Amino acid sequence: MDGLNSVASAYSPPFRIVAKYFVATIISFVVLNLMLVLNYLDISGHHFQPKILSITHIATLGFITMIIFGAMFQLVPVVLEVKLFSIILAEIQFWIFSAGVVLLVYKFWNFGSGLSFTLPAILLNIAMLIFSINIIASMVKVKSWNITGTYLASSIFWLLTTAVAGLLLSINLDTPFIKISHLQYLKLHVITAFIGWVTMVVMGVSFKLIPMFILSHDYKLNLAKWAVILINIGLLGVNWIMHYPDTEFYNTFFGSLIFIGMLLYLVQITIVFKKRIRKKPDIGLKFTSVALIILSITAVLNFSFLFFNYENVINLTLVYGIIFLIGFASMLIIGQMYKIVPFLVWYHKYSSKVGIEKVPMLKDMFNETLAEYQFYMMIAGLIISVIALSFQIQILLLTGFSILFISSIIFALNMIKIFRS
């Protein structure tokens, strides 16, 4: 099974727990792309607009964070060889988090409604706290630590930081109390979420999954160790200086540390790829490879933002958001789901039947030809959407978003096929 037995073991939680998060992720991805199509005329100008904020939180919470939760419940016990602290907490967290996402997305969409921003923010904070307690309580039992564990532990800290920042911003929208610019704290919230939470998880998990999928051996992870140190120092610095005015020098310094850390990670993962035995990539690795290339683009963009006022460039923040959320995060998540979900379903349904009756092959559990179409459609949709936003061509933007929506339907159909196998 291509070494995928490392994705599931006796330490794994019940599949029904992880499956809930995966199903919610698939639904959120389709809804995200549908909302982009239906509201393409509103995707323009400054990023602080109700509909844009609503769609962004479908992406960051309903899609990205939901799949990270599910993946970490599956992978942390297996990678670190410990039982998940509490299955019940994972179940409770799912429903609290789902309610918080729905309410927050609704409130952003209906910005002037009577619903408080604080209520959904409190629900999300409770869910994230429950998740953090569950993972930390699992990690304290680890006997043999590794680099993936270091990255994931760091990501938990930044998740909590992101959650608290989001709560304060929500309270400020209900009852303004922040003395400096709300948008400055929003920027801090985004940086911490994108780099500290999402990217840190991706980096840590990639050092476990990618070598396993491509059969890579005989490499050292020294650059990975320096990367996690530099990125954490940079994020701590950025979070510290953001509370003070006139900190341009420090912002550049700490931002540069993050950039260097990202470069070290990319060099490290390139070394891992060069040491691979399996040369021909399957569809999951095609998505993953493109995602990592796009990560390098976002890293360069982040670094360039340190030296010029990007807010004066029309739609640049929206272009960056599409590149990060669709080009990097979505491509990576989809690629990994094409690798992990078939195996988990197979492991749950058929592992006990091997040698007793005929069981399906992993490659037969979804339509790889359709997945290939989806792969190229996502790339085309991304490129078209970026060009359309850059040059403000609305009909082209509708075209790009429509292609992305169709690709999300293909993905959902393939996932349904896997779950029904």
- Domain-terminating residue out of 144, 162, 196: 144
From 51, 30, 187, 38, select the one nearest 107 (Cα to Cα).
51
Q: What gap in Å lies between CA 150 and CA 155, rounded to an integer?
A: 9
Q: How crowded is residue 106: how many other Cβ atoms within 10 Å of its Cβ?
A: 13
For residue 342, give its domain range. Answer: 315-350+359-421
Domains of the chain: total: 2
Residue 109 lies in a domain: yes
CB 212 within 8 A of CB 206: no
Residue 215 lies in a domain: no
Q: Which residues pair with 216 in a beta bridge?
A: 276
Q: What gap in Å lies between CA 341 and CA 351, rounded to an integer?
A: 14
Residue 122 lies in a domain: yes
From 116, 19, 46, 55, select the one nearest 344 (Cα to Cα).
19
For every one of its 421 residues, what pLDDT tens digit does the chain have, with 9 covering 90 and above?
Answer: 444 445 656 677 888 999 999 999 999 999 999 999 999 999 987 777 889 999 999 999 999 999 999 999 988 888 788 889 999 999 999 999 999 999 999 999 998 777 889 999 999 999 999 999 999 999 998 877 889 889 999 999 999 999 999 999 999 888 888 777 777 788 888 899 999 999 999 999 999 888 888 888 888 999 999 999 999 999 999 888 877 766 777 888 999 999 999 999 999 999 999 988 877 888 999 999 999 999 999 999 888 888 877 666 778 889 999 999 999 999 999 999 998 999 888 888 887 777 677 777 777 899 999 999 999 999 999 999 999 999 999 999 999 999 999 999 999 999 999 998 8
Residue 270 lies in a domain: no
Question: Which residues make Cβ contacts (< 8 Å) with residue 421, sequence separation at least 6?
Answer: 342, 345, 346, 349, 360, 364, 365
- Domain-terminating residue out of 118, 144, 170: 144
Tokens of 171: 């309270």
- Domain-terminating residue out of 144, 169, 191: 144
Residue 344 lies in a domain: yes
Residue 249 lies in a domain: no
Residue 29 lies in a domain: yes
Residue 2 lies in a domain: no
Q: What gap in Å lies between CA 101 and CA 397, rounded to an integer?
A: 26
From 120, 254, 242, select the one nearest 187 (Cα to Cα).
242
Whole-model pTM: value is 0.91
Q: Which residues pair with 280 in a beta bridge?
A: none
